[in-house]
Amino acid sequence: MITQNFIAKIEGHGELIVDFKNERARLAVHEGERLFEGILVGRTAQEAYWITPRICGVCPVAHNLASLAAIENAYGIEVNETTRLLRLLMKCGQNLQSHILHLFFLALPDYLGVDSGFELEKKNPNVFKNALILKDIADKIIYTVGGRNVHPTTTTMGGFNKIPSKNDLQKLLKFLEKTAKTAKWAAELSRKLEYPALNTDLELVAKKNDKIISNKNETISVKNYKENISEEVKNYSTAKFGKFNNREIMVGALARIALSKNSKKIAKKYGLNFNNPFHNIPAQLIEILKYHNLAVKITKKLLIIEMNSEIIKPSLNPLLEGIGAIEAPRGGLYHEIHLNEKGVITYANIITPTVQNLSSIEKSANDLLCQTKNKTEEERKKLLIMLIRAYDPCLSCSTH
């Protein structure tokens, strides 16, 4: 008899273990260990950004960009403005694509009264139609710049193998302009859904330039990511559990908004609550509009400037040790790569956003159990699974 114990509709294999008597919950990650940090050692610098996207098919562009940044940091390469803008555009596409997949196919069915995202076609055709429009524009952005919507083909150390033509970008801009109202609709949808109540002492952390910032007034340098973000091994999980200076933190869309300049204004407009992790869902809906707007802005800029396809070569005496950090869809992603003189990788370390979120997921799950004493076990279990989905865990990323 084939059985199924894994939580449905999350990326990867995880099991929820609840001790209702003591009001404790655990998220056991059951992904097999692929040992990417070992796979990378002995491979070349150029293979790093080919291999690491395969950590996760939901956020491959984020891994590609983080590895490129780490390798370029190691080689002392400063990419040109065209490359910088194109990569930023790819990142917009990535964050849009990942949010849309998570929201419409994994998390939102809970809020819209269906099981599968595809059921929306009959039960809520408007939502379904808009979800496909948004998925399509996210894919188009990544195809135009990255060559493929999953696992990019055009990026390379120091620049791009191939950059899109002005004609390609013009076409993309037309699609972006046509879908602007759908992106607005997504942000508006965030106000129309009802999210479960949960009050936690939530610490939110996001990467900004070369700093990692917490909403509890602590800022560290990206260079010190390894010292400040610790990872704990637990016997029930193949993923490690991360902490920020020994505290549970949440990273991702809600954290990015909380730490942005306009956080108060956005929170007021959309009714966001930075102490309720369920609000990562409206935060992602709001970010769809943000990344869509940003994609329009960058595409317009690329159409004005004279694009330069030059691939920048390594500097003369490079350090050969580099860190690449990026705000991936689910939060801060850190790749560190060391090379020898031949360009062969001698050390690799990767800390993913989900690793950082796992400790917070369990803490919030315990809080949820304490705050839902009047509900049945069945109801509480359902809420716990919705809570886990709200964090948008990527368990493939967490067990790389």
Closest distance of CB 354 from other proteins, Å: 13
Closest distance of CB 134 from other proteins, Å: 11
Closest distance of CB 36 from other proteins, Å: 8
Q: Can you spell out the DSSP letters for 44-95? A: BHHHHHHHGGGG-SSSHHHHHHHHHHHHHHHTT----HHHHHHHHHHHHHHH
Q: Are 166 and 125 in contact (CB under 8 A)?
A: no
Closest CA to 93 of 64, 121, 73: 64
Q: Is the Cβ of residue 203 or residue 392 nearer to other proteins in the bound state?
A: 392
Closest distance of CB 121 from other proteins, Å: 6
What span, in angstroms and rounded, lies between the C-alpha atoms of 235 and 251?
Answer: 24
Closest distance of CB 240 from other proteins, Å: 8
Closest distance of CB 191 from other proteins, Å: 26
The amino acid present at 225, given as its one-letter code, is Y
Query: Residue ranges of the alpha helices (H) in 152-279?
Result: 166-192, 225-228, 253-258, 263-270
Closest distance of CB 334 from other proteins, Å: 15
Task: List CB contacts of 356: < 8 A, sequence separation 6 or more.
Answer: 205, 229, 242, 243, 244, 249, 251, 331, 332
Radius of gyration from C-alpha coordinates of the chain: 21
Q: Are 166 and 60 in contact (CB under 8 A)?
A: no
Q: Is the Cβ of residue 262 or residue 309 nearer to other proteins in the bound state?
A: 309
Q: Is the Cβ of residue 186 or residue 206 nearer to other proteins in the bound state?
A: 186
Q: Are 286 and 193 in contact (CB under 8 A)?
A: no
Closest distance of CB 16 from other proteins, Å: 13
The amino acid present at 12, given as its one-letter code, is G
Closest distance of CB 187 from other proteins, Å: 22
Q: Is the Cβ of residue 6 or residue 270 nearer to other proteins in the bound state?
A: 6
Residue 27 β-bridge partners: 16
Q: Is the Cβ of residue 136 or residue 218 nearer to other proteins in the bound state?
A: 136
The residues binding other proteins (CB under 8 A) are 1-4, 6, 8-9, 11-13, 30-35, 37-39, 43-44, 47, 50-51, 53-58, 60, 101, 105-106, 115-118, 121, 132, 135-136, 139, 146-154, 156, 160-162, 233, 235, 238, 240, 396, 399
Q: Is the Cβ of residue 235 or residue 246 nearer to other proteins in the bound state?
A: 235
Task: List CB contacts of 318: < 8 A, sequence separation 6 or more.
Answer: 74, 75, 76
What span, in angstroms and rounded, lies between the C-alpha atoms of 13 and 9?
Answer: 10
Q: Can you spell out the DSSP letters for 206-227? A: EEETTEEEETTTEEEEGGGHHH
Q: Is the Cβ of residue 238 or residue 260 nearer to other proteins in the bound state?
A: 238
Closest CA to 330 of 286, 391, 242, 396: 391
Q: Is the Cβ of residue 98 or residue 214 nearer to other proteins in the bound state?
A: 98
Q: Is the Cβ of residue 155 or residue 276 nearer to other proteins in the bound state?
A: 155
Q: Is the Cβ of residue 163 or residue 255 nearer to other proteins in the bound state?
A: 163
Task: State the number of CA atoms in the 13 A half-sphere of 251 facing the CB.
Answer: 31
Closest distance of CB 370 from other proteins, Å: 26
How many other CB atoms are there within 10 angstroms of residue 4's CB atom?
A: 6
